[in-house]
């Protein structure tokens, strides 16, 4: 997870630096701050990097609660600099920070796409012995575990996704989510006959159109091209094998709202919430934004058909936004305190609920959301797959390529060739 505002949003949450009665032995030895007499509060500046600016309000509150907890329990005055770039810019900014020895103490990364390469580069602290690990659900823990068995992040978002649809519109027209692309065409025609635009389009941010790639790749890998990822990692495959993704992408684009490249995620969420389109190529991570626009909105999650094989119409299961601790952090003790606070027994349930994230821990006792239950129906029927491990640099490239394709600036073959080149470049760096 990831995404909306331009530029960087940097907020400082600063606890007052007052001397108090505390245990000097509990203070981190490498913290920035004042020396002072025994019992004086230490001050620590913690840098965080999380590319979810649309959720800033919730992070601000939770971080403020953590700051108060550190002061009360450890007599540490913590100030937090929270950097929240858009998803389109985040990966490059973070890589620059890490490469220039300006690493944030805590940073967000995609569990499936980024943990392997960041771990191999030596950027991630081993968190295997931290208390939060024992609280993770068995189904979630593997997503933040390396191939050699080390837990290197605390997950925030676990996802069951495909596309979003307006359940009220579908029910009023007596429709159910289609299981093939031919059925999708029939749904589209029925919507148009009732003067309803089938799809909301929002391609201003490149990460949004790229969503069609993992959906198409996941479907094809699980039905007819099982070794695609393995062969791409050996420079033995080609994205020409994924050309079928343009069938559904073209269908969506031909039956969507106008000026897609001028509409970002927030505006797309508002349009979907207002009923300006019956479907949206987007995931349930936008639930909080949608419901903020229209609290009465009844939407569901369904698998996206990419061809006429109903066995390929599957839900994507993945863990995305996760928080890691930089191996080079100079404030590691406080950083680890926050990582564990993310799954605090008392506080984390309310935090995850406010973010509209799925329960991921044994300490989360709140009910799943309706859209999660919709996707779970498909999962229980065996109609799901684990998010394909496509390198983030390739996903970035497909996002830009599909923006250009939509605008008529690149052909299908141009996009596929660019993706092959991006994966080969990834292989050169990560062999």
Contacts for 93 with CB less than 8 Å, ≥ 6 apart: 8, 49, 85
H/E run at residue 14: strand 10-14
Tokens found for residue 312: 């390929």
Tell me, rounded to whole angstroms, the distance of Cα 225 from its chain centroid. Answer: 26
Give the pLDDT band (50/70/90) at residue 18: very low
Mean pLDDT computed over 38-54: 87
Which residues on adjacent β-strands are paired with residue 318? Answer: 159
What is the predicted pLDDT for the residue at 305? 97
Beta-strand pair 321-325/106-110: antiparallel
Which residue, chain included where needed, has tokens 């590691």? 332
Beta-strand pair 10-14/76-83: antiparallel
The CATH 3.40.190.10 portion of the chain extends over 10-157+320-357, 160-317+374-430
Tokens found for residue 423: 């994966």
CATH architecture entry for 160-317+374-430? 3-Layer(aba) Sandwich (3.40)
First-residue to last-residue Cα distance in the chain: 27
Gap between the Cα atoms of 404 and 261, Å rounded: 10
Which residue, chain included where needed, has tokens 């939509």? 406
- Burial code (b: 16+ CB inside 10 Å, e: under 16) for 228-253 equals bbeebbeeebbbebbebbbebbebbb
* 10-157+320-357 topology per CATH: D-Maltodextrin-Binding Protein; domain 2 (3.40.190)
Tell me, rounded to whole angstroms, the distance of Cα 395 from its chain centroid. Answer: 13
Percent of the chain clearing pLDDT 70 (strictly above):
91
CA distances (Å), origin 359, targets 154, 229, 352: 13, 29, 7
Tokens found for residue 46: 């913690």
For 342-368, the pLDDT digits (tens) are: 999 999 999 999 888 888 899 998 887
CA distances (Å), origin 367, targets 52, 76, 120, 134, 360: 24, 35, 37, 21, 12
For 188-232, the pLDDT digits (tens) are: 999 999 999 999 999 999 999 999 999 999 999 999 999 999 999
The DSSP-derived string for 116-144 is HHHHHTT-B---TTSGGGGGB-TTTGGGG
In contact, 278 and 166? CB cutoff 8 Å: yes
Tokens found for residue 383: 């109609």
What is the predicted pLDDT for the residue at 319? 81
Tokens found for residue 130: 């931290």
Helices (H), ranges, 206-293: 212-221, 228-233, 245-254, 265-273, 287-293
Gap between the Cα atoms of 327 and 340, Å rounded: 16
Give the pLDDT band (50/70/90) at residue 138: confident
Give the pLDDT band (50/70/90) at residue 405: very high
In contact, 405 and 252? CB cutoff 8 Å: no
Give the pLDDT band (50/70/90) at residue 26: very low
Tell me the torsion sign for CA atoms 141, 143, 148, 154. Answer: negative
For 262-280, the pLDDT digits (tens) are: 999 999 999 999 999 999 9
Tokens found for residue 219: 């479907």
Q: What global pTM score does this model have? A: 0.75
Rg (CA), the chain: 22
What is the predicted pLDDT for the residue at 187? 98
For residue 5, the tally of other CB atoms under 10 A from its CB is 15
What is the predicted pLDDT for the residue at 38? 52
Q: What is the DSSP letter of 243?
A: T
């Amino acid at each position: 997870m990831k995404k909306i505002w331009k530029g960087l949003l940097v907020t400082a949450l600063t606890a007052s630096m007052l001397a108090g009665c505390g245990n000097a032995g509990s203070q981190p030895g490498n913290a920035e701050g004042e020396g002072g007499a025994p019992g004086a509060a230490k001050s620590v500046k913690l840098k965080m990097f999380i590319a979810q600016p649309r959720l800033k309000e919730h992070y601000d509150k939770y971080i403020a609660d953590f700051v108060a907890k550190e002061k009360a329990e450890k007599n540490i005055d913590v100030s937090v600099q929270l950097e929240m770039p858009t998803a389109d810019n985040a990966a490059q900014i973070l890589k620059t920070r890490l490469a220039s020895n300006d690493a944030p103490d805590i940073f967000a990364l995609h569990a499936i796409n980024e943990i392997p390469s960041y771990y191999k580069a030596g950027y991630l602290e081993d968190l295997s012995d931290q208390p939060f690990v024992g609280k993770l659900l068995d189904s979630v823990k593997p997503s933040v575990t390396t191939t050699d068995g080390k837990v290197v992040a605390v997950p925030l978002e676990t996802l069951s996704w495909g596309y979003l649809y307006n359940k009220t519109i579908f029910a009023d027209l007596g429709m159910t989510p289609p299981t093939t692309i031919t059925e999708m065409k029939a749904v589209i025609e029925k919507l148009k006959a009732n003067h309803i635009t089938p799809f909301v389009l929002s391609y201003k941010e490149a990460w949004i159109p790229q969503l069609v790639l993992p959906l198409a790749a996941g479907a094809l890998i699980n039905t007819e091209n099982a070794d695609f990822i393995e062969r791409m990692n050996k420079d033995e495959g080609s994205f020409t094998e994924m050309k079928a993704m343009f069938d559904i992408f073209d269908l969506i684009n031909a039956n969507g709202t106008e000026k897609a490249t001028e509409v970002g995620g927030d505006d797309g969420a508002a349009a979907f919430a207002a009923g300006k389109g019956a479907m949206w190529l987007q995931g349930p991570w936008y639930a909080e934004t949608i419901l903020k626009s229209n609290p009465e909105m009844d939407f569901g999650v369904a698998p996206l058909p990419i061809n006429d094989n109903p066995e390929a119409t599957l839900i994507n299961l993945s863990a995305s936004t996760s928080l890691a601790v930089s191996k080079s952090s100079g404030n590691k003790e406080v950083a680890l305190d926050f990582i564990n606070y993310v799954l605090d027994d008392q506080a984390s349930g309310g935090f995850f609920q406010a973010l509209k994230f799925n329960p991921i821990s044994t300490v989360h006792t709140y009910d799943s959301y309706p859209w999660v239950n919709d996707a779970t129906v498909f999962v229980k029927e065996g109609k799901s797959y684990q998010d394909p491990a496509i390198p983030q640099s390739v996903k970035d490239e497909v996002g830009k390529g599909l923006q250009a394709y939509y605008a008529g600036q690149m052909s299908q073959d141009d996009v596929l060739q660019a993706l092959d080149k991006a994966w080969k470049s990834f292989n050169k760096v990560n062999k």
